[in-house]
Amino acid sequence: MNKSRFDKLHVKLFLVIAGAIAALTLAAYYVFTASFERGFMQYLNRADEVRLDSMIDRLSIEYARERSWSWIANDHQRWIDMSRDALGLPGPSEQTKGQVQERALPRRDTPLTIDPRLMLFDRDRKQLIGRLEAVSLAVFKPISLEGDTVGYLGYVPRPDVIASIERVYLQRQRVAFGSIALGMICAALLLAAGLAYWLTRRIRLLTRGTHALIGGDYDTRVNARGNDELAQLARDFNTLATTLSKTQHARRQWIADIAHELRTPLAILRAEIESLEDGVRPLDKTALDSLSYETSRLSRLVEDLHTLSLSDLGALSYYKEPTDIAEVISDVVDAQRRAIEDKGLQAKMNLAEGLRVFADETRLSQVFANLLQNNLRYTDAPGDIHITSRRNAKEVLVHWEDSGPGVPEEDLPRLTQRLYRVEGSRSRAGGGSGLGLAIAKAIIEGHGGRLTARASPRGGLAIDIALPVYDGNNGHG
């Protein structure tokens, strides 16, 4: 099914960013326009009030002199002149001052903003001056003389009638605000388009890299410039790609090593059986012992692989209980005392008494047995094995050292890798599978401890083990 264009991330980003900015711009336009118009109208109305008060004072003074409204009711031009003079608008007196300019330029009437809305009423509210159709809209302001109301000045408020220069001014302001809002919306569209493209361009690079990883190309990398979240995501992607590449290489190497380890005893078994079938070798105790040895070797290898597989799955079972670690080590060494002596080695132990850990005794015995088998395979005679144990604040420490030959410094971190064995003195000639230290490390870590390898001051290899000390409060597992 084809995806809609609106399902694209860059389209969504564009619509969200542009829509948000456009909505804010339109909201700001309406708020600013309404606020400006409201403030402008309030200003004009206050100005009108001041001007009307001035007009009322003039009318009151003239009425006191004439004692009637006939002086102005029958003289419309005088009403206009008085209105202009009271409101500060150009009148006849100013025209005489500008006769030279009027001869040179055509006369333009000054647009009046208030006097066309003015009306004059007597004390009985009878209209004397003004437009009849505006009476219903008029607001009456009393004209007083010596405390007595002698007439009313009527006017139409601006919200009801704005047909002068103020309307033009407000319209121009609306156009100006509208132009600004339109420009901001256009800028928002450009900004949203650029930002959406910039963000999704980096995401598209990650997408292409992810597709490459899915296709098995673990050598792909993406450019991780900057320090923002997308740059960090790109660096994490590159780390993931590197990890997958190493994992793939390790898996291939693991399969190749397993095939090699299985091939050797199987090849020997096959050769032995074929020689027996062909009558080359007699079926005697020596032949049976050889077949039994290779079968046992193959069984140990399969069992070790099974143990590591269970450890990887978290399914390696432990039956933990308070265990004296000195007793476990002593039992393992005593069981192999004859083999140690036959190899020409000496086992020296300096074990602190009463050091207990919460552990599976059988699994710990397996760890120490594997370490001892390494000593028997790789330590040259005459040599020695030195085992010590002690305690710090929270851990029981076991140091398992042997004499030469040693292990190169660069190989020490890899000794606990599966099927890894050092070339040279500690090589496959010893007959090991390269799984013993890997199994030992997995078991120790399953007990919440650590196993590390280092060079022994005795010239060989030292294995350091740290296990949480049992204080009576350890959990059960």
How many CB atoms neighbour CB 5 within 10 A? Answer: 8
pTM: predicted TM-score of the whole model, two decimal places:
0.51
What is the CATH topology of the domain spanning 244-312? Helix Hairpins (1.10.287)
pLDDT in tens, 135-173: 888 888 898 888 888 899 888 776 544 545 556 666 777
More confident residue, 240 or 172: 240
The CATH number given to 319-468 is 3.30.565.10
Contacts 24+ apart (CB under 8 A), 186-194: 188/17, 188/18, 188/21, 188/22, 188/25, 189/18, 189/22, 191/17, 191/18, 191/21, 192/13, 192/14, 192/15, 192/16, 192/17, 192/18, 192/21, 193/14, 193/18
Write down the domain spans for the chain.
5-166, 244-312, 319-468
Q: What percent of the chain has a predicted confidence (pLDDT) above 70?
A: 82
Average confidence (pLDDT) over 81-99:
55
Q: Which of 292-306, 327-341, 369-383 has the lowest mean pLDDT?
A: 292-306
Res. 107: pLDDT tops 50: no
pLDDT in tens, 410-455: 888 888 877 666 654 444 445 556 678 888 898 999 999 999 999 9
Average confidence (pLDDT) over 279-308:
80
Average confidence (pLDDT) over 462-477:
79
Nearest to 409 by CA among 453, 379, 374: 453
List of residues 6+ apart from 401 with CB closer than 8 A: 385, 386, 387, 456, 457, 458, 460, 461, 462, 463
List of residues 6+ apart from 73 with CB closer than 8 A: 120, 128, 129
Res. 390: pLDDT tops 90: yes
Average confidence (pLDDT) over 112-120:
65
Task: Quote the tokens at residue 472.
Answer: 């009576």
Can you give the pLDDT at residue 324?
94
pLDDT in tens, 324-366: 999 999 999 999 999 999 999 999 999 998 899 999 999 999 9
Q: Which of 87-101, 344-358, 380-394 has the lowest mean pLDDT?
A: 87-101
More confident residue, 384 or 107: 384
Res. 131: pLDDT tops 90: no
Q: What percent of the chain has a predicted confidence (pLDDT) above 90?
A: 19
pLDDT in tens, 195-229: 777 777 777 788 888 888 888 888 888 887 777 77
- Identical fold, 244-312 and 319-468: no
Can you give the pLDDT at residue 449?
94
